[in-house]
Structure 1
Amino acid sequence: MANTPQSKKRARQNERRFAVNKMRRSRIRTYLRKVEEAIASGDQAAAAAALKAAQPELMRGVTKGVVHKNTASRKISRLASRVKALA
């Protein structure tokens, strides 16, 4: 358990950051799930629209430090190729 005032404050900050990051990660996963569902339905227009909405959300996660840049790029690339394959 945190003893010094500084470590107590750090623990509070960590809790807050954890909650915010968890929310951001959840939001990103929701966008990715929408793309997956659109791909599964076979509707290319809906899948392309969902991907277009998911891309900035994923990259926002990169700037906020929730997701690594290469991970986000890889996910976008793989989803884009799957959407393209629907045509």
Structure 2
Amino acid sequence: MPNTKTAKARDITNERNREKNVAVKSRMKTFVKDAMTAIDAKDKDRVSKTLPVALTEIDKAVTKGVIHANSGARKKSTLQRRAAALNK
């Protein structure tokens, strides 16, 4: 329980920010999962459509501070490496 008015206000602000962060992270995970599914299915057409969208969503999550920059770079690298393996 917050003891002061500002602590109560911070609780409200923190909850609002948490909901926004959860939404951004969930959206990112959905697009990453779509790209991974396309890669696993070896569907080059779907990969070419879903990969750029997934990479953009990862960048947006990093920009908004939802995930750390290194985490975003690692996710992007993994996706791109697996997609490149399809062309070999």
Instruction: State the TM bucket, normalised to the shorter chain.
Output: over 0.9
State the distance in 1 between where 2:72 and 2:44 align: 21
Q: How does 1:4-83 map to 2 (within 5 A)?
A: 4-83=4-83
Give the counterpart letter for 2:67 in structure 1: V
Unaligned runs of 5+ in 1: none
Gaps of 5+ in 2: none
SS in 1 for 2:26: helix
Sequence identity of aligned pairs in percent?
37
Q: What's the offset of the Cα at 1:20?
A: 0.6
Deviations 1:5-28 (A, max 9, x none): 000000000110011100010000
- Matched letter for residue 26 of structure 1: S
What is the aligned length?
A: 87
Give TM-score scaled by structure 2 length: 0.93
- TM-score normalized by structure 1? 0.94
